[in-house]
Structure 1
């Protein structure tokens, strides 16, 4: 581990968190015994962020009465939302609960309720069948396998819709044939979650590896043709994680993938890792960047420019893994 990871003041600061974060700090940074972090993890359903989010679930299994947008969002042009799309509907909420580590048993019956009641805003398609957006389908794939829904069809959809350059693009439906950083990262994250839960298949693993290769051959932040920065957004870190790409989300995924595959860190990550390391403050923290705008049920992290426990945890964990080789 690095000196920063071992800093007791930093670790104490991280540990004084909501159970959704604290259990991960205990497991991955403090290396606490499983009986310690599992007890903390169990508290997600009954206190803090997890319990508050569960309280907003409707009797139909949805949040805000909609699949990706709140119910009625597009009626008569939809409510005016000058600050961006809302994050209060079912799919973004389930993404948070899953990534926080909520046990799926706390949502017993939800998969069936969504199968009966939830339809995508796109063409009124059934919820567990997915739709046409790669990022939405990726989250639905990961959430479905977590809740025990049949999402095998969505997994195969990713194999069928991978582009020739190795990745995916949500604009494929508009005719795009070039992959997107954002879509590709979300796709491989969803595929990995499915693979971990089910064992996957050779075709699914090959598709995931191809998407990861798409990112790695671009060093996680450059254009393949010129080597220039693909966009300032690649270096802007913020939490909660939504659909947008950044080097922290990418390196965190590649950490998870390497641990699952039993492989060492890919050296092509090195420049992105150093850019991530450069954002660490003298006290060992990372600062909140410009967050994705839009309505939320409640805040789960700090305002822009303040030290973020979530970003600090993820970045510290990535660097500890990288530095251990």
Structure 2
């Protein structure tokens, strides 16, 4: 492992100004700080989490859903893109899946939206690309709309190297972008439906694909596959970066692996002197209301996510 564990990071970061700054924020950030960093009682955490649906960013997203179930469809780069990303964003915020607000939103999507260009499949049955289907499975499983057909479709699409690629076939090599989306979807499916040996085996193969490459390096050359992999973005849509990779392993309850060490060091290197982390660059799928500065500014989302990962990394 790195010498990370030797650092007295908790005393410096989990008390004082950084935590106060995170708590002086949206409920979507605040409840996760309380649960994962301060380990406060469940009832207090639940009380703040319930606010996601009725105030702040969560309420802003919910209010922008159309009567047909879409989110800002006129700005879609491909059919239903923003609807999918809105559902994932609400999941990441912690919208309670059994809340009345989530129930209304999901019913509109389930009952009205189809993939017109893919056999008119229902929204939660998915389309054909691995990265999109992984995101659909993650959202559907979280909100109680699991699709066994979609799970099997993803399992059948796993490549010999352990990952997935939206361009397979003809491609025979996996993509980090596709692989992380599918891993997140399969993990959310197992959280909802229970452990499944076939799904678990597929996830472990996919995890090994990332680990063999140190979460961002080429297996053949050892070089950085894409400089953007070392940036910190939010929201990630279907794009991969090292913080998202580390976050997956944390949520999966995996044990830290030496092959993650360089990625951890890169995350630490991005921390500012005041203990906060930046938003390196905006994603092309802009959110149509103000959450955080588009790029270059301090990010509560990324600071929360980095601290969650570091808390997990230091706990073993």
Map 1:109-128 to 2 at 5 A. Answer: 109-120=104-115, 122-123=117-118, 124-128=120-124
Q: Which residue number in structure 1 is paired with residue 314 of structure 2?
A: 323
Q: State the distance in 2 between where 1:50 and 1:242 align.
A: 17
Q: State the distance in 2 between where 1:278 and 1:86 align.
A: 38
- Return the match for 1:42 from 50, 65, 68: 50
Q: State the distance in 2 between where 1:295 and 1:269 align.
A: 30
Pairwise CA distance, 1:153? 1.1
- Shift of the 134–48 alpha-carbon distance from structure 1 to 2, 3 Å rule, reads same
Q: Aligned residue pairs: how many?
A: 305
Map 1:54-203 to 2 at 5 A. Answer: 54-64=62-72, 70=73, 89-104=82-97, 105=99, 106-120=101-115, 122-123=117-118, 124-173=120-169, 175-203=170-198
Higher relative contact order (CA 8 A, sep 6+): 1
Pairwise CA distance, 1:126? 2.5
Does the CA contact (< 8 Å) of 1:189 and 1:253 recur in 2?
yes
Pairwise CA distance, 1:71? 5.5
- Shift of the 86–285 alpha-carbon distance from structure 1 to 2, 3 Å rule, reads farther
Is 1:268 the counterpart of 2:276 in the alignment? no
Pairwise CA distance, 1:303? 2.9
Q: Which residue number in structure 2 is paired with residue 78 of structure 1?
A: none
Pairwise CA distance, 1:72? 9.1
Q: Which residue number in structure 1 is paired with residue 6 of structure 2?
A: none
Q: Is the partner of 1:250 in helix, strand or coil?
A: helix
Q: State the distance in 2 between where 1:121 and 1:308 align.
A: 37
Deviations 1:241-288 (A, max 9, x none): 22111110000111111x2xxx52112111111111111111111111
- Shift of the 289–122 alpha-carbon distance from structure 1 to 2, 3 Å rule, reads farther
Runs of 4+ in 1 over 3 A off after TM superposition: 84-88, 109-113
Q: TM-score, normalised by structure 2?
A: 0.91
Q: TM-score, normalised by structure 1?
A: 0.88
Q: State the distance in 2 between where 1:87 and 1:129 align.
A: 13
Pairwise CA distance, 1:202? 0.4
Pairwise CA distance, 1:240? 1.7
Q: State the distance in 1 between where 2:222 and 2:11 align.
A: 32
Structure 2: which 5+ residue stretches go unaligned? 1-8
Does the CA contact (< 8 Å) of 1:280 and 1:286 recur in 2?
yes
Q: Which residue number in structure 2 is paired with residue 19 of structure 1?
A: 27
Does the CA contact (< 8 Å) of 1:166 and 1:214 recur in 2?
yes
Pairwise CA distance, 1:125? 3.1
Structure 1: which 5+ residue stretches go unaligned? 65-69, 74-83
Is 1:209 the counterpart of 2:204 in the alignment? yes
Q: Which residue number in structure 1 is paired with residue 289 of structure 2?
A: 298
Pairwise CA distance, 1:128? 2.0
- Shift of the 264–38 alpha-carbon distance from structure 1 to 2, 3 Å rule, reads same
Q: Which residue number in structure 1 is paired with residue 4 of structure 2?
A: none
Deviations 1:25-75 (A, max 9, x none): 1111111111111100001111111111111222223323xxxxx2696xx
Is 1:239 the counterpart of 2:234 in the alignment? yes
Q: Which residue number in structure 2 is paired with residue 76 of structure 1?
A: none
Q: Which residue number in structure 1 is paired with residue 38 of structure 2?
A: 30
Is 1:53 the counterpart of 2:44 in the alignment? no
Pairwise CA distance, 1:109? 4.5
Pairwise CA distance, 1:116? 3.1
Pairwise CA distance, 1:133? 1.2
Q: Is the partner of 1:143 in helix, strand or coil?
A: helix
Deviations 1:54-109 (A, max 9, x none): 11222223323xxxxx2696xxxxxxxxxx77997311111111111001222225
